[in-house]
Structure 1
């Protein structure tokens, strides 16, 4: 009997390795162009304004039926009830309500991004928890609006959820006690936040990419002293980038490179020069191989050989000089976005001003004190009771299996 020879381990796939980021849900579902990002936010805001206006009309009608107007409590920038000096005791007509604009919503979300930083620092959470919580908040408001869910409540749930997804758990009682919020108020929003994230909890962060970039720069011969000096400045740029929409438009590696370039332009240019030199050498080698194949075709009668590519995206049709110029333009865009976030930090006064308008611009269905909320709760309770009665009617008498219904 012939002995079969061992096949050995499978051969690795041909072509360049594919980055994990480009296989992730973050790349497929949470990456936009600037134009698409503006469009998503604009359409979300327009639909919310239309829906909230309609619901306020229904709220007024319901109050008229009950003949007991129920003012909807507002909330200040720290989430507590507030009454602005110019705010009426009863809601104005829906057409007169000053609904939030896209800029208002983004300013409010930006303010609570800074509150995530303060909160995580107070708890001494690791940077991974902080960065993930900020990503969750930004992603949540690509599927929802501040007129439906107040960012303060969502912020707390995002932080608590991030402690679990990043394997740095804290008990809900400890967390809730320190943020002075009932545990149920945090936990009740977890499923909503998870749904809005499409249950995609993994986030690829630029600060992790920066660590790999620094190692590669050391291998390329960039002086270690320069990198050691520039690294704190690069991390400061990365922290500022989290207040911007950069991670929704650019990859973590691109953001990391832009932040390092802002910190030490000379070192990055040196590293890029080394990379371009290696690429040019690889291109020359490829041309030599192709020339040899063509020569073999003429001499041996085998015809012209087709150059073997490395797979889609492995070789660009543009010359290296154009690729380098495009990269520099992209890095300039990222740096400008980060600088804009640094210059336009939303303070508490701005957030409080928006919050006062949010008192009437918010969805009355989400407020437990509104007549519409109470009506919806009564309707849901009636539906549950009707289902129970229907089950009971179909159930045979003395049916022990009913305990599993």
Structure 2
């Protein structure tokens, strides 16, 4: 009996010791097991929940351009130009042979008719200088400007420049809201831009797009460096503002391109009515023209007295042994002009101006215009494959000079 009791006590003691050891081991391992379970649970939660991406600060943009519009729109005005024209009525002669000989014949007395032109403008000074397109006010007898506060003011033409299709108007007013001009005027493809004007006379309207291209040459005028945009520009927007996302002026809306299907008579470049692709004069050009017209009543430009074209346009005239990628070819020498006085000839290839490479026709045209009348310029080129160099004294470009672009 006593031996049985001792064996029982011994078993109990061994079991108790084993239990204490197990308890001690569990107490050591428990925290790591708990943390592990928590980690697995968190991993499951992350896998089962959707991921939310936060945009980086450089990709964030304004959700509204109201501030830009409120800054720029008060300086954009509507322009209504009127002119009287003489209209004659003609009758078409039915017989084709007679029609070829005599054309149409007058069918009644001539009468006077008033034509209306609609456009926009930008206020550059608080005392009333307004910049717009020349084609908006060309030939107008009466020009009225509707200001942003509802006032209507009579405007007079200070000067116009057909070579850039710009004109400066003046109204008698003070303390007018003026446009903020972009410091450098630089624009990049992809920049957000807003077109502000009075399309179709419906009232001041803002459209948004991006800069689609820069440096466009459309052959509409002598000096071109257009900004292309997909911001909607229509009849009445001409002369209005193209501003950046800060409301700063980067261009003057000028021309549009209309795709009118397969009928070529309805398509092409227009200066009054289109949609889809628009063009604006860079603010650097617009500001330079404005300053010169205010100072001199006209734009003063240097002039070589010659006409020239890109090499690519006159490839047939280039000797096959001289494959030139840059430069221009002289297409006309005006009698009595600077080029004529130094012996420049039609067909001469001009490669350098004052030691700098001539890239193309627009490049030379802009550098020529920037030179002061009376200054001396050196032209290097080729004549029948033989190098030559001349120095000529520039004249002032005539106002009625016709550039064949």
TM-score bracket, normalised by the shorter chain, equals under 0.3
Structure having the higher helix fraction is: 1
User: How does the TM-score come out when normalised to structure 1?
Assistant: 0.20
Bigger Cα Rg: 2
